[in-house]
Every structure is written in C-alpha cells, then in structure tokens.
Amino acid sequence: MNLKNAKFILLRTHQAALDNSERALGVVLVSGPGVGKSDVVGYEYPHDLALALGQPVGCVIEMLATITSADVRGFMIPIKAANPGELPQTVFSLPPWYPTHANTYVFEPVKTKSGMRVKFWPRGTWEGDLPDVGVLFLDEFGQADEEIKKPAAELIYKGNVGTTELPIGWRVIAASNRVSDRSGVMRELMFVVNRRMLINVTAEVQPWVEWADGLPAGKALHDMTVTFAQKHPGVVFKDAIPDGDAPFCTPRTLVMMDRMLRSLSSQEDIENNVLPMSDIAREAAAGCIGEGSAGQFYSHMRFFHEIPSLEEIVDDPKDVKIPAGRDGQMVAVYMIARRITEENASSLVTYVARFTDEMQILACGVFNSTPQAQKILMSTREYQAMLHRHGSRLRAAEA
C-alpha cells in the first residue's frame, strides 16, 4: 500500500488502542529506499496524531544500525548489597530509546484564530511533562545485526526490554528496506515475524504529489521537480534497484536534487522562477539522481521553459502562447493541476482548451485525480464543457 494509506492505518489503530487503554500493536514498514517512510513515521504521523487527540505527542527516533546490543537493554551495573552477606545486585542503565527530555521531539496542538495547528518542539526544548502518548521509531531495523534485532523484537512486541518499559500510550514502529535492495538488510528472524504487523509500502506518484503540495513555503519543491515526477513516474517511483553503485533516482534523491539546484540558482533564475540549466548544475544533479535520470530531467526542463508564467496565462488565456509540442503541453497540464484555485480556474481551463484533443483528455484525467483541482473545477462552466466535449473518449479510457 502507499504511505498515505499506511499512515491512515497507523493513526486509526493507535487511537483505538488508546480508547481501550492498550498499547498499540508494533508495526514494521518495509519498502525500497527513499520512498519517505522516515518522514511519515518521524514527523507526519505524530503531527497528525497530536492534532487528532488534541494533546501533545512525543517521538523518539533511534537508528538501530548505529547501536550495539547493550544499547537496547541498557548497561548492566553492579550495586552493593543492602545487607552484609548478601550477593551484589545488578541494575540496568536507561537505554537510549527510552523517552527523555533530551531525546524526545514533541508535537503540541495549539489553538489559533484560524484553527488548531501543531507546534514542533525539537529535542531538548520541551519543558513540560513528557507526553503520555508517543511513537518510538526504530529506523533501519532490517540493517541491524541479529544481536540487536533480538532484544528489539521484544520492544516491538511488548513495548519493553527487560525491566525498562515504555508508557502504555507509546507505540513502537520499525522501518526497513528489502533484502533485494542491497542495503545491508538481513533475513528477518522468524520469532520476530509472528510478533508484529508488517506493512509493505509502495511508492506512488499521487500521494507523493499531495505531500509535496502540503510542504510549507520555505521547503516547497519547484514546479519543475514535481511535474517531472508526475510525467516520469517510472523514473522516480520504480520498484527495482539498478545494478551497480552509481546514484539513482528515488523520491528522496529527487528532493535532495531540488534543494541542491536551488542553492546554485542565479538571481536571474530566481527572478524567472526556474532552476539553473548550466553544465555545472546538470553535473551536480547527476550526482544526486544519476546520469540517465538527470538527462531526462533537463529535457523536461527545456519543455518547461516553453510555458508562460501562471500570471500570463490568467491575464490572457485565449491569446498567450501555448507549447507547440506534445511534451510541452503535457508538462503544462501537470503544472496547472497544482496551481488551480477558485479565482483562476476558469482562465486555466480556457488555456488548456486550446491544447490538442489528446492533451485535453490527459488534462481531464490529471485534474480528476487531483482532489483539490477536481473539487474546484467541477463547478466551472469551462471544465464542464471540456468534459462534455470529450465524454465518449474519457468513458472509453475508463472502461
């Protein structure tokens, strides 16, 4: 299933467990590299849970591939016997996965004039009591050695290792790549298999686009990057890992490339709202997503340069230039789908109605699969006319 559906399951089952005063079932998420598991579990899930519950939610992230077995149980410390003649006793130190103010991120719901929002508190900054509800995220579970997986399995199953136990409202979630991904993942122990819920995660374009559209302004991806993922899902969301050790494209490396290219943008690039096209920028892009994918990305960017700005389209939808070829019009369709508002919807559909019939039909499919765009467009006269004009071919495509 995709990450959006996986998050839905995590939220609903956690809330149900809290309602029954039980610990939520431990979960292991498995996928290829770079699809966004860490972002969903380490940020989106506790963020949305805090909003749903109306109370602070904590999150501790532990990279299992970087610790030893003693870190999972805690170090054994001998203590002097209380009475003469008694044998010395031992206690265990607090393991690093246990929530403390020093290692816990906190998501606090805050009421504002515009509604509820969630304030994020980095580790070491939360001064209140530690949240009763939280998520312990064991990342790189599959890459951990067996001596670490064995005690961690008890943590996933029961929320404790030895005498150290998580608060009942805290849930344990682990994430792993697949053995076939050549990421150092070893075969899972059978006694672990029967003690957790497994969710196999697939990378899909539409949930990723919805995630990208929800990013705050300071972290938003460029239209060139998002429309590339929409136009070339087989490049960005492919399931198999290529042979060799050269860079390759995943959702994660595509985002890395976007951030890197923005840092190389000239003032002219910024003013024209484009990413840099220089040879240096292209070589740097290849270092993130690989030579072949970078070549496709820069071909995509050349088509992007054929598209007028959104302001030009809205100001003069009937006469402003349209991309001459199929690929340019396709890129324009994906860009427009992300920028539709109630104010500009009629103008943007009027513009798309000048494209070839093939691209208009593609546009209807893209708009209908974009929830926000579909909701706005269904009430516009121009879009209703486009649907009517191509109704028979749209129905044939759906059959």
The tens digit of pLDDT for each residue in 353-395 reads: 888 888 888 888 888 877 778 888 888 888 888 888 877 766 6
Residue 181's pLDDT is 54
Q: Which domains does the chain have, with CATH numbers?
A: 3-200 (3.40.50.300), 205-398 (no CATH)
- Looking at residue 362, its pLDDT comes to 83
- Place 18 in a pLDDT band, splitting at 50, 70 and 90: very high
- Which pLDDT value is given to residue 396? 61
Q: Are 383 and 373 in contact (CB under 8 A)?
A: no
Give the angle 57-41-230 at the CA atoms, nearest 5°.
Answer: 135
Q: Helices 326-339 and 291-304: crossing angle, nearest 10°?
A: 80
Mean pLDDT, all residues of the chain: 82
Question: Looking at residues 306-328, what average pLDDT do you find?
Answer: 84
Tell me the C-alpha distance between 142 and 16, whole Å.
28
Which pLDDT tens digit goes with each residue over 47-103? 999 999 999 999 999 887 777 777 777 777 777 777 777 777 777 777 888 899 999
Q: Are 93 and 78 in contact (CB under 8 A)?
A: no
Residue 6 CB partners (closer than 8 Å, separation 6+): 29, 40, 199, 201
- pLDDT digit string (tens) for 255-312? 999 999 988 888 888 877 788 888 888 899 999 988 888 888 888 888 777 788 888 8
pLDDT of residue 187: 62
Please state whether beta strands 27-30 and 105-112 pair in parallel, antiparallel, or not at all (unpaired): unpaired
0.75 exceeded by pTM: no
- Residue 363 has which token pair? 């546009």
Write the pLDDT tens digit of every residue in 176-190: 776 655 555 556 665
Question: CA of 122: how far to CAs of 108, 119, 175, in Å?
Answer: 11, 10, 22
Residues in the chain: 399
Residue 141, pLDDT score: 74
